[in-house]
C-alpha cells in the first residue's frame, strides 16, 4: 500500500504505554531521536506492535509545524 502522507520515517518501537482506549508508542528513528505516536489500543493489537519491531512513523505534511 502506498499512501499520500508525505512523511514516512523508519524506526524501531522502543516503548508502548497503554491507556483505557489510547496507547502511546515511542519510535526510535536513530541518533537518539524518538517520535511519539498516540494510536488506539485496537491498532496496537491489529498491527501486533512489540518493542524492538521495525515500524514507520506516518505523518501528513499539514500536521507538521515549524519552529525557530
Query: What is the contact surface with its own copies in residues (CB under 8 A)?
Result: 1-9, 17-25, 27, 29-31, 33, 35-40, 42-44, 46-49, 53-68
The dihedral built from the CA positions of residue 30, 32, 38 and 40, taken in this order, carries a sign that is: positive
Q: Least distance in Å: CB of 56 to its own copies?
A: 4
- Taking the alpha carbons of 44, 35, 58, 1 in that order, is the dihedral positive or negative? negative
Report the nearest approach of its own copies to the CB of residue 7 (Å).
5
Largest CA distance in the chain: 38
CB of 12 to its own copies, least distance (A): 11
Amino acid at each position: 500500500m502506498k499512501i499520500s502522507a508525505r512523511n514516512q520515517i523508519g524506526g524501531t518501537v522502543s516503548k508502548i504505554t497503554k491507556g483505557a482506549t489510547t496507547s502511546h508508542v515511542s519510535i526510535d528513528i536513530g541518533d537518539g531521536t524518538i517520535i511519539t505516536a498516540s494510536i488506539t489500543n485496537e491498532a496496537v493489537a491489529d498491527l501486533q506492535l512489540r518493542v524492538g519491531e521495525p515500524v514507520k512513523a506516518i505523518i501528513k505534511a499539514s500536521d507538521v509545524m515549524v519552529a525557530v
